[in-house]
Amino acid sequence: MTTIEASSLRECLGRFATGVTVVTYWADGAPRGATVNAFSSISLDPPLILVSLSRKAKAAQYLSEGRGFCVNVLSSSQVDLALNFAGRPRHSPITWVEGSHAPRLAESHAWLECTPWQIYDGGDHLLHLGEVQDLSFDGSEPLLFYSGDFHNRGDELDEHGRVRRPAARSVTPLQETTFRQLGEEFAAGWL
């Protein structure tokens, strides 16, 4: 049995920069969602993607019933939505779009509507694979997550790591109240 400490594991995994998604679905006649950065492409043929959901998340329980879901890739203007669907309700209104297989969030950076493919054991998480049925993306800026903070995109680098195109804005946390400041208890609910 490994003796890796949860806090150092979380911190180390946080060094892997990701985008931020909200996984949306219908439950009890209402649209719902959960913020997820453990999202990955899996296969092009068939077109499969994966989201890793804590067994404690309501999303994992509902999606285990075999319903369709949508992975909404957030834009940098959607930090509020990321927090809202991570259990920190915000006051800003949410605009939903009725998709063919699941509800979607309006104005996300990209979205992929999926039907359930397979669910695998992932320890205290469940690995939900979905088969992509429909998708769309736009030219907005993506929201990024790194080391416990939200970011926007920084300088574009060439193959030597030199700045090819400077960022419109520098890479700084997007808000004063960072994810880390929201507390250990907030993070502990997920990883």
Q: Write out the H or E segment, with its range, that includes residue 186.
A: helix 184-188
Alpha carbon separation from 110 to 93, 140, 141, 166 (Å, rounded): 20, 9, 10, 24
Q: Is 179 in the site for ligand FMN (CB under 6 A)?
A: yes
In the range 115-154, which residues lie near ligand FMN by CB under 6 A? 145
Q: Which of 53, 70, 73, 79 binds ligand FMN (CB under 6 A)?
A: 53
Stretch that binds ligand FMN, among 2-10, 28-36, 100-108, 163-171 (CB under 6 A): 28-36
Residue 161 vs 183, nearer CB to ligand FMN: 183
Q: Is 34 in the site for ligand FMN (CB under 6 A)?
A: yes
- The answer to whether 22 and 72 have CB atoms below 8 angstroms apart is yes
Q: Is 35 in the site for ligand FMN (CB under 6 A)?
A: yes
Three-state SS across 81-150?
Answer: HHHHCCCCCCCCCCCEEECCCCEEECCCCEEEEEEEEEEEEECCEEEEEEEEEEEEECCCCECEEECCEE
Q: Is 10 in the site for ligand FMN (CB under 6 A)?
A: no
Stretch that binds ligand FMN, among 35-43, 102-110, 127-135, 167-175 (CB under 6 A): 35-43
Q: Is 67 in the site for ligand FMN (CB under 6 A)?
A: no
Strand-pairing partners, residue 121, are 126
DSSP, res 78: -
User: Minimal distance in Å, beta carbon 185 to ligand FMN?
Assistant: 11
Q: Is 37 in the site for ligand FMN (CB under 6 A)?
A: yes
d(CA 190, CA 153): 24
Binding mask 73-92 for ligand FMN (x = CB under 6 A): ---------x--xxx-----
Residue 85 vs 111, nearer CB to ligand FMN: 85
Strand ranges across the sheet with 125-137: 30-36, 21-27, 69-73, 110-122, 125-137, 48-54, 39-43
Give the footprint of ligand FMN on this chain (CB under 6 A): 20, 34-38, 52-54, 57-59, 82, 85-87, 145, 179, 189-190
